[in-house]
Amino acid sequence: MEQQGDSLRHHCGVVGVHSANPDNIPEKLFYGLFALQHRGQESAGICYRKEIPEDGTGRFVTYKDLGMVSTVLSRYLEKPHPSTLGIGHVRYSTRGGNRLENAQPLAASCNKGSAAIAHNGNISNASALNARLSMDGSIFQSTSDTELILHMIARSRQPDFKSALIETLGELEGAFSMVMLHEDQLIAIRDPWGFRPLYIGFSDTITAVASETCALDMLKIRDFREVKPGEILYIDSSGVKSETFAPGTEPKRCVFELIYFARPDSLVFEESVHLTRKAMGAALAMDESAEADLVMPVPDSGNSAALGYAEQSGLPFEQGLTRNHYAGRSFILPTTSQRELAVRMKLHPVREVVRGKRIILVDDSLVRGTTSRILISLMREAGAKEVHLRLSAPEIKFPCYYGIDIPTRKELISNSLSPDGIAAHIGADSVKFLKIPRLMECLKDGEGYCYACFTGNYPVQPREV
Amino acid sequence: MEQQGDSLRHHCGVVGVHSANPDNIPEKLFYGLFALQHRGQESAGICYRKEIPEDGTGRFVTYKDLGMVSTVLSRYLEKPHPSTLGIGHVRYSTRGGNRLENAQPLAASCNKGSAAIAHNGNISNASALNARLSMDGSIFQSTSDTELILHMIARSRQPDFKSALIETLGELEGAFSMVMLHEDQLIAIRDPWGFRPLYIGFSDTITAVASETCALDMLKIRDFREVKPGEILYIDSSGVKSETFAPGTEPKRCVFELIYFARPDSLVFEESVHLTRKAMGAALAMDESAEADLVMPVPDSGNSAALGYAEQSGLPFEQGLTRNHYAGRSFILPTTSQRELAVRMKLHPVREVVRGKRIILVDDSLVRGTTSRILISLMREAGAKEVHLRLSAPEIKFPCYYGIDIPTRKELISNSLSPDGIAAHIGADSVKFLKIPRLMECLKDGEGYCYACFTGNYPVQPREV
Amino acid sequence: MEQQGDSLRHHCGVVGVHSANPDNIPEKLFYGLFALQHRGQESAGICYRKEIPEDGTGRFVTYKDLGMVSTVLSRYLEKPHPSTLGIGHVRYSTRGGNRLENAQPLAASCNKGSAAIAHNGNISNASALNARLSMDGSIFQSTSDTELILHMIARSRQPDFKSALIETLGELEGAFSMVMLHEDQLIAIRDPWGFRPLYIGFSDTITAVASETCALDMLKIRDFREVKPGEILYIDSSGVKSETFAPGTEPKRCVFELIYFARPDSLVFEESVHLTRKAMGAALAMDESAEADLVMPVPDSGNSAALGYAEQSGLPFEQGLTRNHYAGRSFILPTTSQRELAVRMKLHPVREVVRGKRIILVDDSLVRGTTSRILISLMREAGAKEVHLRLSAPEIKFPCYYGIDIPTRKELISNSLSPDGIAAHIGADSVKFLKIPRLMECLKDGEGYCYACFTGNYPVQPREV
Amino acid sequence: MEQQGDSLRHHCGVVGVHSANPDNIPEKLFYGLFALQHRGQESAGICYRKEIPEDGTGRFVTYKDLGMVSTVLSRYLEKPHPSTLGIGHVRYSTRGGNRLENAQPLAASCNKGSAAIAHNGNISNASALNARLSMDGSIFQSTSDTELILHMIARSRQPDFKSALIETLGELEGAFSMVMLHEDQLIAIRDPWGFRPLYIGFSDTITAVASETCALDMLKIRDFREVKPGEILYIDSSGVKSETFAPGTEPKRCVFELIYFARPDSLVFEESVHLTRKAMGAALAMDESAEADLVMPVPDSGNSAALGYAEQSGLPFEQGLTRNHYAGRSFILPTTSQRELAVRMKLHPVREVVRGKRIILVDDSLVRGTTSRILISLMREAGAKEVHLRLSAPEIKFPCYYGIDIPTRKELISNSLSPDGIAAHIGADSVKFLKIPRLMECLKDGEGYCYACFTGNYPVQPREV
């Protein structure tokens, strides 16, 4: 599902690090963000507290730019930047276009001190909050939700930062897994529904917070736990203090994190991403009716599910599509009509594997169907006898208000065509999606997830003005 | 006086363009800013209204970065960007360090619409205003004065943008020559004291506003006039409307614009920069007592004054220092102890001119004296018999609160040494400064200028909190 | 085996394109080289004949630089460059360090016309030839073998380019798969031993030559064949003419192309790379004695062999190592002691897969053993019970004189340790290599390959001076 | 005369440094080349001998690229590169277009050792030499003359480098001021006619060679002398050894070095550039007939001559044109029809100086007349009453074969129009050129110069094949 222009966009990834003693925090943020690069490739940034040894104070330094972690932040590998805390962010544009103004972290000073924030998610009542703040005289220099939060804290009549923050969180609806800096404190927050993942981990020298455990692995942290939905953590030199700011809300985690967004070696929502995907693939196989010779993934998005499918079905697993790992974003194809070329540059069939075969081709999901159509034509060209496309996600039919950039309903192929119609359209012999009940069976707590993009049942109603 | 590290910094330059019909406004801003490059070389930026032909509306697009106009903005020469209005800015850091956050124009949306601002000057009561806004819950993403102004407009209880702007201007103290965009209107404002210059000009197709007339010349505008101190101009498709927002204030123009900052071919404050500098040089010659063989400028800052000195004195004018025009900012010398090298890379004596000669060396002003000391030693090395340094500015002894980045009082050589002491320190045979009364005689309205950096008499008292 | 610093280096890739009618040849070279990027990442370049419509002639234009194809050559996607023929090259340094002087293609004019050359391989009698040419007065501007060839053609007493080329080829020993331009002709050449692969393909509009078929696939060419060892092909508007310049030599193809270098979806030496690797994995499994729970590849170099191993052994295939595809060369780690970090940035175990398991870990080959040691410690850390490393190549003990950059004999771990010694050294429970006879059984023509890096039996003796 | 597209091109500048003890030679080359930047702005490069402390040997390292000295070579300011000798080069394209292949220094190894060369000038019998070498089997990787010289040395039957070099020099015709490296020796050579300047200087620690003395000044060298026409200097740790390789040739120095190319503070040909230009200006004034109010230079090319004119004539000297020093080559104007804009970006009249005045405008020379026409129209626009253009060079009518890039005869305005015709064409009230006899009187040895571009009398006949 990863072809540019025909995919759901990863949204954002966040990381935060606190060290009791001054350490090279920007370097740690670099490595953490590097492991989260798959969550956002349009901009990268960090904000850290630069120690001022002269007077024992510090000030926040922010650096961010459009580009990949290794390009934007490699300057921080060159020499040490002593610091005790910092946060970092990678992003795709969701609300707010691909503009530097919207890159994060966002730092500002206000009547409650200096603060910085890095945010993964989408505030679903942002329009209403924006309207209220605007009426009261706030100015908006970006179109991101994140600026809202800082305004609300500054505006709050609460006497201090912490109580203003709690008050503000009480007014936010939607998805927010966040890390913040306030003076010498690192703060981690997860919305009451727990839409987006967030983990905290501990090593001998640092405490770190990150969207996925793969970032904690990079920092050699083996002792970690999930930040709970509705939990707020204050991390400073005195240790970690936990509070719950919204008791009683039922969790509604984003099932797409497990289906597609997260890295296979990560834990999110206390589930192994790889094993859950294998279970989804196996579940697909349970309802299979087609006769086939082999099972193949669309690499890498379909890898785990195809493996699960093969194990469940007993069919041979094959790697019949080669992925060119040099295919990235470093150049622009001259015209969009060259999409076929773009697919060909990234994925290519192994002729000797597919020739004459009846193939189960496993991918994670289907959005517009453009890439799949090209891919299947490449496989036909290479001699495939039958291609049965299997998706480890149900049919996507509805927009997301919690941070995933889903095309308009009209563009979603499952809103205009049935699975059989899709098969005809993309040239497959058959197309099947995972059923929602089957998907729920793959999860420890199937009820605790959001399936709104499949069902239209939104756990938090978006409020437009 | 221009050697890096031993100079007064230019502050900023602004430009604004309005066209009745859609035109390539960003290109015009490029050319205008290019002519103002000498007013600020650390960042460049524009904000223009991008026309949305579909619905006849527009939205503001901002692009700014650290660097020179030709680097940051050359992208706008490649293809047309249809627009009817825009503003641009070049800056040196004054209040607020060399950070991208402080680059201008600054654009924001608020309850009174979308606005953008580019500002030349320094608000002398910024601290007090900042404290008040902060208490009321504003957040500050930069350390520039400019953000204040947008906050105040948004906060105002006035019913519309225009009345909120007038209310805000009434609260500002200090120097502000500004251009603004609000919806489809270009607005030009000059503070009541008129510290910084601002001109408006008209051609058949556009109306343009700029810090100096050299920018209007670039745009082939021959019909122009000064924006008056305390004047506000509203420029839109219905024409230009002028108002006075602070009647009765006595002008206090910055005399240093004429001494050093502005380009010789510009008009500022309705004075020819070149001719006024020649008059200053001539005034220096009137009080001369030293015997000399020739008069030489430190190029290019002393060019005009040296010419005036030579004409008045009857001594031959010579160009005994060659300036290497490739010496810029494109690389960093390894250590600051290499200042001598830096001077040598930029200025070099013509041996055959200075050898055995008694020389009047004319520059505009003396700050720390470091460059002059090196320069005089280069001239001695080349065989100069006597070097008499003459400065077309009086002795600089006090900081500026209106936009010039003057070093601390302690660093200013005129606070620790008399002219004779300076001569001994820098190796000159004598050093003389222009007297303030002589300087005033060079100006049409000598009383209408600020001399605070020489006298400590501040026309507007800075208010710190 | 791909970790930087602990791998055999790919050598080079070449591509050539001829079109009967003027076409955007540089763009086609871009796409072909893009598919060959895995064969060389240090420099990229093309040389094409720019048509001069005025007089119906053309001249060679060369563009090359250090960097990846997408960076160096993306300029050629922007607008058409009408041309009828061109060649391209990607390279790793082998003989001759990482210097721009050694980037290819190399173009020169001489008494037999203008020519350009792009070369994959290594001339094993280069020193002797160089000494002779130098004595005769040739100058060398690079340290690459390629320059030799042009000198020899120019020096030849043969009357024309073609006969001089044939004479020159007769004197070259070692590996050379080459494409050349001479005036309006594209020439493809493969050394008599056939060390390096080379294919020619035909579409309706173009004839193309490339190191691997994956580059022809990119150009939508489905009709192709191997260029034979000792074959020379002249391609121009009159068609393709084939000659044999060294009859009677026995082929000695580089077995490492099949083991590691080539892309799995390519054909080289008329073998499917993927299927041959699967066969190697299966062969490993035939001699297995260890008990295990699952088979895992080191991605991506061990992918195909692990699949073959799993099929043969009946053990479950798993993807227990995640590869971060953003790990590239775009930044430099501060110290080489950070190798562990480098491995961690690229490969990470899926904890839930490896925990408590006895694992067959399949990779292609072992050079120094550094990466494997780190990888196995990461797997232990993630809870693996046993790790049995299996390599689909035999033990590498000897240098290569035909284009592979193998470390010194001392650095090759198999020269100092037995498989058991290696297992102890890298922390594996056991280490096993593919036996040479088994390897030969995986190939259609086992005798027709070079195994010198395993055996020291060199088909062509290198001649040093 | 400096406007891009309407000027004679500077050709090249060279520098060489030798130090008895290892020193940071690349840094010294940087500073020397920086001072020679005006002699060539299209590429910059150095070649230095990198010391190999292990075995007391060294090897040549070359680094060159398209761009300015400060961009291409600033990397050498970052850390020391211990070395005892090196050479550097800045270039404009003359023979051979603007291609990296033609950038210098050019380094190669041959049967007489490793050598590198940086060359200022043009070999007028290059075609004949090229034909001979080509016939003998040399290959040419560039189109520069410099490659020829290396081929000839390598081809020579002389037993050693030095005698081969002398033999080669005896065959070269035309202009060549060169620096070479051979093993541990720096060699400086000037052609027997002395077309291009070359100086050698000595400080306590280094010996340096450079095109102009301004480069030696940068290196704090005060003890220098001209390298004589036909002189060859061998500089190594044993000192400097001088030889004459072509006795009896009459010097024919390029008079344009004094008219336009060299920096005013330099000595070239043992003449002060500034004072010679002043004399040319004075000579113009001697033949003046026009009545005028003031004298103005076109900055900076006319500065010195205008000063000389003013002194001789007794008319006031004025600086009525401001030059924008930020106008460079860093961006491309969209269309060539925007030449007027380009002039306006660089030069602008001071309205108050020129208004109502009769002006003598002094520039160095007239090539196509395009820039002058625009400049005069800008002056009219600013109110000038009369503009009399005076050129300190005679009329340019013939091409140069010794290193200056003069347009075709057809493009040279003086081949199609008389001075009066030119005046009418460019809108001047009159145009006058310096007479050749007057020019000769400005020089110590008027007979020892080449005036071929004015007269067509070539001291060395170019030989085309």
| Residues in chain A closer than 8 A to B107 (CB atoms) | 141
Strand order in the sheet with A294-297: A294-297, A358-363, A386-391, A430-433
pLDDT in tens, D48-81: 999 888 887 889 999 999 889 998 999 898 889 9
Quick one: average pLDDT of A160-168? Answer: 97
First vs last C-alpha separation in chain C: 34
Q: Do A110 and B137 touch (CB under 8 A)?
A: yes
- What average pLDDT score do residues A191-198 get? 97
Rg (CA), chain A: 23
The binding site of B for [4Fe-4S] cluster comprises: 254, 400, 450, 453
Under 8 Å between Cβ of B112 and B165: no
Average pLDDT over residues D107-118: 96
Confidence of residue B39 (pLDDT cuts 50, 70, 90): very high
Residue-wise pLDDT tens digits, B272-310: 999 999 999 999 999 999 999 999 999 999 999 999 999
Please check whether residue B126 is in contact with residue B95, taking contact to mean a CB–CB distance below 8 angstroms.
yes
State the smallest CA–CA distance between residue B23 and chain A in angstroms.
24
State how far the Cα of B366 lies from the Cα of B1, in Å rounded to an integer.
Answer: 7
Task: Name the residue of chain A whose CA is nearest to B134's CA.
Answer: A111
Other Cβ atoms less than 10 A from the Cβ of B55: the count is 6
ipTM exceeds 0.85: yes
Nearest CA in chain A to C41: A326
Q: According to the annotation, is D453 in a ligand binding site?
A: yes
Backbone angles phi, psi at A371, to 5 degrees: -60, -45
Distance from CA of A179 to the nearest CA of C (A): 23
Ordered by where they begin, the domains of chain A are 12-251 (3.60.20.10), 276-455 (3.40.50.2020)
Judging contacts by C-beta atoms under 8 Å, the chain C residues touching residue A275 are 352-353
State mean pLDDT over D18-27.
Answer: 94
d(CA C259, CA C236): 35
Tokens of D44: 């910059």
Q: How close does chain D come to C415, measured CA to CA in Å?
A: 28
- Do C and B make contact via 3 or more CB pairs under 8 A? The reply is no
b/e code B371-402 from CB counts within 10 Å (16+ = b):
bbbbbbebbbebebebbbbbbbbbbbbbbbbb
Burial readout C175-214 (b: 16 or more C-beta within 10 A, e: otherwise): bbbbbbbbeebbbbbbbbbbbbbbbbbbeeebbbbbbbbb
Residue B377 pLDDT more than 80?
A: yes
Find, in chain B, the residue whose alpha carbon is nearest to that of A158: B137
Between β-strands C199-202 and C223-226, what pairing exists: parallel, antiparallel or unpaired?
antiparallel
Do B9 and B367 form a contact (C-beta atoms < 8 A)? no
pLDDT > 80? residue D6:
no
**Which whole-number Å values give the CA distances from D93 to D69, D97, D254, in the listed order?**
16, 5, 18
- Asked if pLDDT for residue A295 goes beyond 60, the answer is yes
pLDDT, average across residues A272-282 = 98
What is the rounded CA–CA span in Å between residue C235 and residue C229? Answer: 17
Residues of B labelled as active-site residues: 12
Residue B53, burial from CB neighbour count under 10 angstroms (0-12, 13-18, 19+): exposed
A134 or C11, greater pLDDT: A134
Count how many pairs of residues, chain A against chain B, have C-beta atoms within 8 Å: 62
Find the mean pLDDT for residues B87-113. 82
- DSSP secondary structure, A203-270, as one string: -SSEEEEESSHHHHHHTT--EEEEPPTTEEEEEETTEEEEEESSTTPPP-EEHHIIIIIS-TT-EETT
**Of the candidates B77, B217, B345, which has its C-beta nearest D331's C-beta?**
B77
Q: Scanning every residue of chain A, which has its alpha carbon at the shortest distance from the alpha carbon of B152?
A: A137
Contacts of B415 (CB under 8 A, 6+ apart): B397, B409
Query: Could you give the CA distance from residue A419 to residue A391 in angstroms, rounded to a whole number?
Result: 11
Task: Give dist(CA B107, CA B117) in Å, integer.
Answer: 7
Closest CB from A62, A111, A135 relative to B137? A111
Tell me which chain C residues have a C-beta less than 8 angstroms from the C-beta of D109: 134, 139-140
How high is the mean pLDDT of chain B?
92
Give B294's contacts in chain D (Cβ within 8 Å): none
Catalytic residue among A12, A47, A214, A442: A12
- C151 and C135 Cβ atoms separated by less than 8 Å: no
The alpha-helical segments, DSSP class H, found in C56-175 are: 69-72, 126-135, 145-155, 161-171
Angle of helix B25-35 relative to helix D339-346, nearest 10 degrees? 30
Q: Which residue in C318, C326, C352 is closest to A272 by CB distance?
A: C352
First to last CA, chain B: 34
pLDDT in tens, A107-130: 999 999 999 999 999 999 999 999
- A34–C344 C-beta distance less than 8 A: no
Beta bridge partners of A442: none
Residue D48 CA to residue D32 CA, distance in Å, equals 14
| Chain B: residue whose CA lies nearest to D80 | B334
pLDDT of the residue at D331: 53
Residue A125, burial from CB neighbour count under 10 angstroms (0-12, 13-18, 19+)? buried
Per DSSP, the residues of A68-105 read -HHHHSGGGGSS--EEEEEEEEEE--SSS-S-GGG-S-
Other CB atoms within a 10 A radius of the CB of residue B21 amount to: 9
Residue B259 CA to residue B264 CA, distance in Å, equals 10
pLDDT tens profile C95-132: 444 577 888 999 999 999 999 999 999 999 999 999 99
Interface present between B and A (3 or more CB pairs within 8 Å):
yes
Count of C-beta atoms within a 10 Å radius of residue A406: 18
| CA distances in angstroms from B27 to A236, B74, B76, B79, B209, listed in the order given | 51, 9, 6, 9, 15
Q: What is the pTM of this model?
A: 0.91
Record the tokens describing residue D73, joined without a space.
Answer: 């070579």
| CA distance linking residue B354 with residue B343, whole number of Å | 18
Q: What is the pLDDT of residues B383-422, one digit of tens each?
A: 999 999 999 999 999 999 998 888 888 889 999 999 999 9
Instruction: Give the pLDDT band (50/70/90) at residue A274.
Output: very high
B320, B321, B354, C348, D322 from B361: Cα distances, Å = 9, 10, 11, 70, 21
pLDDT beyond 80 at A150:
yes
What is the mean pLDDT of the segment spanning A81-87?
96
C-alpha D298/C-alpha D392 separation (Å) is 12
Q: Which amino acid is residue D139, in one-letter code?
A: I
* Rounded Cα distance, D151 and C141, in Å: 11
CA angle D384, D390, D395 (to 5 degrees): 140
pLDDT tens track for A26-78 = 999 999 999 999 999 889 999 999 988 888 788 999 999 988 999 899 989 88
Query: Does residue A173 surpass a pLDDT of 80?
Result: yes
B137–A107 CB contact, under 8 Å: no
Nearest-Cα distance to chain A for C23, in Å, is 16
Note the residue count of chain D. 465
From the CA of C148, how many Å to the nearest CA of chain D?
10
Burial B235-251 (b: 16+ CB within 10 A, else e): bbeeeeeeeebbeeeeb
Express each pLDDT in C280-331 by its tens digit: 999 999 999 999 999 999 999 999 999 999 999 999 999 999 998 887 654 5
B323: left (phi over 0), alpha (psi -120 to 50) or beta: beta
The HSE-up count of residue D78 (CA atoms within 13 Å, CB side) is: 8
Nearest to B139 among A101, A110, A136 (CB): A110
Cβ contact B19:B85 at 8 Å = yes
Alpha helices (H) in B62-106, listed in sequence order: 69-72
Residues in B touching D325 (Cβ below 8 Å): 300, 325
Sign of CA dihedral C145, C149, C150, C152: positive
Contact D139 C110 (CB under 8 A): yes
Q: Which residues pair with B43 in a beta bridge?
A: B66, B91
- Facing C134 at nearest CB: one of D101, D110, D150: D110
**For residue C85, which of C24, C32, C29, C25 has the smallest C-alpha distance?**
C25
Q: Cα–Cα distance between D387 and D393 in angstroms, integer?
A: 18
Which residue in the set B319, B330, B331 is minimally distant from D307, CB to CB? B319
Helices B145-155 and B126-135 pack at an angle, to 10 degrees, of: 50
Q: Where are the beta strands (DSSP E) in D252-371?
A: 253-254, 267-268, 271-272, 294-297, 321-323, 347-349, 358-363
Walk across the sheet containing D358-363 and list its strands.
D294-297, D358-363, D386-391, D430-433
Chain D positions in Cβ-Cβ contact with residue B345 (cut-off 8 Å): 31, 34-35, 218
Q: Per residue of chain C (465 residues), what is the pLDDT tens digit?
A: 433 445 565 579 999 999 999 999 999 999 999 999 999 988 999 999 998 888 878 899 999 998 899 989 998 988 899 999 999 999 986 544 457 788 899 999 999 999 999 999 999 999 999 999 999 999 999 888 899 999 999 999 999 999 999 999 999 999 999 999 999 999 999 999 999 999 999 999 999 999 999 999 999 999 999 999 999 999 999 999 999 998 889 999 999 999 999 999 999 999 999 999 999 999 999 999 999 999 999 999 999 999 999 999 999 999 999 998 887 654 555 555 577 888 889 999 999 999 999 999 999 999 999 999 999 999 999 999 999 999 999 999 999 999 888 888 888 999 999 999 999 999 999 999 999 999 999 999 999 999 999 999 999 987 665
- Chain C residues close to A75, C-beta within 8 Å: none
Residue A96 pLDDT grade (very low, low, confident, very high; cuts 50, 70, 90): very low
